[in-house]
Structure 1
Amino acid sequence: MLKEKASQYIVEPKLVNPHADAGALRLMTYLCSIYGSRVLTGQQIGVESAPELDVLYEVTGKYPAVYGLDFMNYSPSRTERGAQCSDTDIAIDWWRSGGIVTFCWHWNAPKDLIDLPPDKTWGSGFYTKATTFDLAQAMDHPESEEYQLLLRDMDAIALQLKRLQAAGVPVLWRPLHEAAGGWFWWGARGADPYIRLWKLMFDRMTNLHKLNNLIWVWNGQHSDWYPGDEYVDIIGEDLYPSARDYSSQKKHFQRAGSYSGQNKIIALSENGVLPDPDSMLKDQALWAWNCTWYGTFVYKTEEDGRRTYSSAYTGREHLIKYYNHPLTITKDELPNLRDENV
C-alpha cells in the first residue's frame, strides 16, 4: 500500500499562466504527481563544451532526467560581440530524446559594460562588478534607452522560447536567478526594481509574446524578493555546501517553502554537491529535482586531454548511489511526456 503524501507535497497541477499549453500542463502534472515521493536527477550543461553527460554516463550508466541550459550567449550585448549559442537546438534534441529541459539566463547587461580584464570583461557582463547598468534607473524611466534595451533583450530571448514552443518543448524557465545575492546586476539595486523587472518579464512573455510553454521557476533566494504567488509556479534554491557535504539541506528546503502562502513545488535548481537520498527521505527534504552545476563539479581534465569524473565535490560512489537510488529518477525512467495521449 502506498504511503500517503505529507500535506506539504500536495500541489495542484495548475500554472500561473491561464493559457499554458498542453505540454506545459502535462509536465507540471507529472511534477506534482511525483513531488514528495521521487526526485528527478539533473545536470547543467557547460557553456563552451559539454562533457558532463558523457562523464556521468560512464560512471553511472545513466543520464539525468533534467538537462539545464543557458540563454547567456543569446544576450544581445554578447551576440553583437560575436558570441554564438546552440542551446535552443540542444534543448529540442534533448526533449525529443525523452528528457526534461530547464533554462536559466545569465543575462549580459544590455549596455554599460566595464570591459576591463581580467575579471570585468564583457564576457562577465551579467555580474554586478562588470557593469554600471542601473536597473532602478531603468525601471523608474520607461521612456529611457535603458528600459527599451531591457525590452529588446527580453524579446531576443522570447524568440528562442518561441522556437522551443513551436517544437513542443515545455521549459522549466528560471530567469533572474539568485537576485538577493547582489552579484548579478538584476539584484544590485535591491528587491523593488527586481520584482518590477520580474513582473515586466512575466507580462511581456506571457501576454505579448504568448509564450504558453513556460513553467515559471523563481529563484530569488530570499522572501523579500518574492514577486507573488500569481507570478511563480515553482520555487528554486541554489546551494553550494562544502565539498562532500551530503546533507539534505533541510533548513534551506523549509525556508524555500516559507516564501509562499501556498504549497509550491521546491527544487534544488543548482547544486555543487549531491545530497544523500537517504538523508532527504529521513529529513523530508524532498527536492523536486536537482541540477548539478557544470565543469569542475563533475569532471577533471587529465594530462592527455581526457575528461574523467572528479570526486572533489561528490564522491564517485555517492554519485553512483544517487543515480541508482529508488528515490531518484533518471532519464530512462521518465514517462512519455511528449504524447498527449499518454
Structure 2
Amino acid sequence: MNKSIFNLLLSLTLLSFISCKAKGAEEPVISPADPVEVLPNTPFKTLNYLYRISGKKTMAGIHNREPNATPARWTNEVFTVTGKYPALWSGDFLFQAENINNRQLMIDEAKKQWKQGAVVNIMWHSCNPALNEPCAWDDGKGVLSKMTDAQFNDLLTEGTTVNLKWKKMMDDVAVYLQQLKDSGVEVLFRPLHEMNQGKFWWGGRPGINGTAKLYRMTHDYMKNTKGLSNLIWVWDMQDFGTLKADLDSYNPGAAYWDVAALDIYDGSGYTAAKYKAMVDIAAGKPIAIGECEKLPTVQQLLEQPKWTFFMGWSELQFEKNTTAEIKTLHSAPNVVMLDQMKGW
C-alpha cells in the first residue's frame, strides 16, 4: 500500500475513534465467566483456608483420644487403612492423672502435625472445678459429674473458690497453648464442646447466663488475660432434635467464635435440616462436623458442601464404618487429605 494512502486511512480511523469517544460512546464491557469471590482476610492462615474451601471441599480429620502417650494413634490408623494421612489432626488436654502428665507429648505431636501441613484441633474434656483434678469420667466426681446452680453461679463470679479453680485449670493448659503460639502453631480450640449436652458438668444450661456465659468467660480469659492470639475458637453443639432452638439458646455471640461445629450422633445422620440450621446460624462463617462415628458419604458432602471438615471419633470411626466406606470417602476428589495440604 502507498505510504501516503496508509497514513490517510490511519488518520481517518483515529478521528472516527476520537469522535465516538467525544459523543459518549461506551466501550464494550467484558464480564468474567466467574465473578471474583471476596473472602474474609483473617489473621489466621488456617481460618482463611477454611473460608477458601467452604462450598468446594471438605478436609478429612480424626480425633486422637487417650492415652496422650500415643497422640497420633488414630491418625496413623487412617494411614494404615487408606494409605494417606488425614488433613486435620486432633488432640485433647484430658483429665486423668496419666494424661495430664503426658500433655507435653500431645503438644509435641501438634507441633509435628503443623510442620507437616495439617490443621491442628485441640479440645479439653476438663474436670469439674467444683471438685478435684485429676478426675475420672463418670464416677460422680469426674467429667460427667453435676454442678449445682449455686456452684455454677460461683464459677461465673469473680474471686470465688470455684472461679479461681477454673482459672488455675485454664492457666495450666495455657502454658501448652503458649508453646504452640511461640512455635507459630494455630489451633482450632474447642473447649466446652457439645454445650447443649447435659451430661457434661458445663453443659445443658441454656440462655445468656448459662453455658454460653462460661464460654465467653473462658474465651476472654484465654485471649485477653493469657494473650493467646493463636486460638481459632470453635463453638460446638450436638445434633439433638432441639438443635434449631439450641443454636439460639447456647450461642455465646458471633464475636466469640470463628467456626460453628456440629457433632453427629443422634442416629438420623446428615439431614438437610441439620445442615441448613448450621449454615443459617453461621451466617457466612465456616461450619464443620465436629465429631462423628458414622462418616458422611461422598454424595452427602457434595450435597452439603459447606462442611469444611469432618472429624471421626477415634476408634468409633473404624467400628461404625466398613473399610471400603472409609477408603471411598478418603479418596474422594472433594475430600482433602494431608498430601494435598501445601504447608503453612
Q: How high is the TM-score relative to the length of structure 2?
A: 0.78
Shift of 1:112: 2.1
Shift of 1:249: 3.5
Cα deviation code 1:133-161 (max 9, x no counterpart):
96522245323101111111111111111
For 1:226, the aligned partner's letter is: N
Residues 116 and 328 from structure 1, CA distance in 2 versus in 1: closer, same or farther, beyond 3 angstroms?
Answer: closer
Shift of 1:12: 2.1
Aligned mate of 1:235, from 241, 248, 260: 260
Query: Partner of 2:22 in structure 1?
Result: none
Cα deviation code 1:294-319 (max 9, x no counterpart):
12432xxxxxxxxxxxxx41111111
Query: Partner of 1:157 in structure 2?
Result: 173
Indicate yes or no: 2:199 matched with 1:199: no
| Separation in structure 2 between the aligned mates of residue 70 and residue 273 of structure 1, nearest angstrom | 21
Aligned CA RMSD, in angstroms, stands at: 2.9
* Unmatched segments (≥5 aa) in structure 2: 1-31, 239-245
Shift of 1:46: 2.5
Query: Partner of 1:265 in structure 2?
Result: 286
Query: Partner of 1:304 in structure 2?
Result: none
Larger-Rg structure: 2
For 1:53, the aligned partner's letter is: T
Contact 1:109 1:126 in 2 (8 A): yes
Query: Partner of 2:40 in structure 1?
Result: 12
Contact 1:39 1:289 in 2 (8 A): yes
Residues 274 and 153 from structure 1, CA distance in 2 versus in 1: closer, same or farther, beyond 3 angstroms?
Answer: same
| Separation in structure 1 between the aligned mates of residue 134 and residue 107 of structure 2, nearest angstrom | 27
| Separation in structure 1 between the aligned mates of residue 219 and residue 259 of structure 2, nearest angstrom | 14
| 3-state SS in 1 of match to 2:311 | strand
Matches within 5 A, 1:271-282: 271-281=292-302
| 3-state SS in 2 of match to 1:12 | coil
Residues 100 and 175 from structure 1, CA distance in 2 versus in 1: closer, same or farther, beyond 3 angstroms?
Answer: same
Query: Partner of 2:102 in structure 1?
Result: 84
Query: Partner of 2:226 in structure 1?
Result: 209
Query: Partner of 1:39 in structure 2?
Result: 58
| Separation in structure 2 between the aligned mates of residue 327 and residue 111 of structure 1, nearest angstrom | 45
Q: Percent of pairs identical after alignment? A: 26
| Separation in structure 2 between the aligned mates of residue 53 and residue 206 of structure 1, nearest angstrom | 29
Indicate yes or no: 2:157 matched with 1:141: yes
Residues 112 and 272 from structure 1, CA distance in 2 versus in 1: closer, same or farther, beyond 3 angstroms?
Answer: same
* Structure 1 range deviating more: 264-273 or 46-55: 46-55
How many residues align? The count is: 299
For 1:266, the aligned partner's letter is: I
Indicate yes or no: 2:152 matched with 1:127: no
Query: Partner of 1:70 in structure 2?
Result: 92
* Unmatched segments (≥5 aa) in structure 1: 15-19, 299-311, 338-342
